[in-house]
Amino acid sequence: MRGITAFLLALASIGIFVAAAFYSCGKKGNGSMYLGSVGVAALLLGMAAFVLAMFSLREENSFKLFPYLASFTSFFSVGIWAALYAAGFLLA
């Protein structure tokens, strides 16, 4: 059950990234501080999904598809958010 929850949280984080990217492109890069706050919240959501996925991998007697999917997806989510913030700090 934790694996499915972690997978859905990671998908939500990626969905927020896509929505924020489209919104930011529509505003020609001039997003408000609310957009940045949503980004930080989505990064924390991805981190929570990653921790939950790691705990779900340790569960015994469970089907391991969703814990592995959640691990990969949450790692990808945290990676794209971290890369976005790193690029923002380095290019600003």
* pLDDT tens for each residue of 58-88: 888 778 888 999 999 999 999 999 998 898 8
pLDDT at 9: 94
Give counts: helices (H), strands (E), the chain: 3, 0
Task: Tell me how far apart the alpha carbons of residues 51 and 19 are, in angstroms, rounded to a whole number.
Answer: 24
Task: Tell me how far apart the alpha carbons of residues 90 and 28 are, in angstroms, rounded to a whole number.
Answer: 19
Q: Is the pLDDT score of 92 beyond 80?
A: no
pTM: 0.85
Amino acid at 18: V
Residue range 10-29: mean pLDDT, rounded: 89
